[in-house]
């Protein structure tokens, strides 16, 4: 292999808000950061070079890293929508992220229930895959109803896939996407969460398709977990995920703690059997490899 082919994949892990200790700041994704940074190629070299940061706006309210991301040398941006819709990425930042993908950069995007992370709706192409309560709701009005009946302060979309600290069964849709492959067999579990958000493939985008679904532990209704966007017309690949809790420290290890507003009692299933995270870790590695390197 050439040196160019084996250079580490440069990845930015970015939350959409400024740092707040008692919230979903970037340190709440430290296990993900460390896992990706520890990945190695078949030759033993680092697979990825990871930068992890909170949003840090300047005096004009614009984050200079995000606002100039199209000129940066990151291969992938992993965007964690933890905002409430009015305190997340700005229009200039979204425009730069859109240009970044148009120039071959790959974007992974995730959010959570109701309107959490809805600032990413303005993100060109991939933003349309995210459905929220007040912005770009799911097209089927029958889904505009609560799925999680227990945490009543949270409204739809809030698909209940199980308790934090446990895993849910998922289904890879045919043809099985490479991210869902584990040595020739499909990945069958991901971390559970009591109120996942909603994603769907934009009808006008032939490069997008739903690749994995889950099932509500309460209503037994199926729901989409991820939408994959193939590279097309010079654009980089993309991914839209139903909840950032598939990647949060608290869902991999509830003992790591969570913000004080999280009141649901967690499961100890993963703590008792850490092998339950094997599929999730393979899923993350597959995402890193599939999103790939930006053309230089």
* Alpha-carbon distances of 111 from 24, 79, 94, 118, 120, rounded to whole Å: 11, 9, 15, 8, 9
Residues 239, 107: contact at Cβ < 8 Å?
Answer: yes
Angle formed by the axes of helices 30-37 and 278-291, to 10°?
60
Residue 296: its pLDDT value, please? Answer: 77
Q: Is this model's pTM higher than 0.85 or not?
A: yes
Residue 2: its pLDDT value, please? Answer: 42
Query: Which residue, chain included where needed, has tokens 């680092």?
Result: 46
Average pLDDT for runs of 10 along the chain of length 296: 68 97 98 98 96 97 96 97 92 95 97 96 89 97 97 97 98 97 97 98 96 98 98 94 98 97 96 98 98 91
Residue 1: its pLDDT value, please? Answer: 35
Query: Residue ranges of the domains in the chain?
Result: 3-291
Q: Which residues contact 276 (CB under 8 A, 6 or more apart)?
A: 166, 167, 189, 269, 270
Residue 5: its pLDDT value, please? Answer: 54
Q: Which residues contact 140 (CB under 8 A, 6 or more apart)?
A: none
Q: How many helices (H) and strands (E) does the chain have?
A: 7, 14
Residue 6: its pLDDT value, please? Answer: 79
Architecture of domain 3-291: 3-Layer(aba) Sandwich (3.40)
């Amino acid at each position: 292999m050439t040196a160019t082919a084996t250079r580490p994949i440069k990845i930015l892990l970015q939350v959409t808000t400024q740092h707040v200790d008692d919230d979903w700041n970037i340190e709440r994704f430290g296990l993900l950061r460390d896992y990706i940074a520890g990945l190695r190629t078949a030759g033993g070299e680092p697979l990825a070079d990871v930068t992890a940061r909170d949003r840090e706006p300047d005096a004009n309210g614009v984050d200079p890293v995000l606002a100039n991301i199209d000129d940066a040398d990151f291969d992938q941006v992993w965007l964690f929508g933890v905002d409430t819709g009015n305190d997340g990425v700005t229009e200039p930042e979204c425009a730069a992220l859109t240009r970044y993908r148009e120039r071959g950069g790959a974007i992974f995007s995730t959010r959570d229930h109701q309107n959490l992370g809805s600032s990413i709706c303005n993100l060109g192409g991939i933003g349309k895959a995210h459905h929220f309560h007040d912005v770009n709701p799911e097209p089927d009005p029958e889904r505009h109803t609560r799925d999680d009946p227990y945490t009543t302060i949270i409204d739809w979309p809030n698909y209940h896939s199980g308790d934090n600290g446990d895993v849910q069964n998922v289904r890879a849709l045919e043809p099985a996407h490479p991210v869902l492959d584990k040595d020739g067999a499909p990945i069958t579990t991901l971390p559970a969460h009591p109120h996942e958000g909603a994603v769907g493939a934009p009808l006008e985008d032939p490069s997008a398709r739903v690749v994995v679904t889950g099932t509500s532990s309460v209503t037994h209704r199926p729901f989409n977990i991820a939408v994959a966007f193939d590279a097309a017309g010079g654009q980089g690949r993309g991914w839209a995920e139903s909840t950032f809790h598939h990647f949060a420290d608290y869902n991999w290890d509830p003992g790591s703690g969570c913000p004080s507003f999280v009141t649901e009692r967690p499961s100890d299933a993963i703590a008792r059997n850490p092998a339950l995270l094997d599929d999730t870790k393979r899923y993350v590695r597959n995402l890193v490899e599939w999103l790939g390197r930006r053309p230089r």
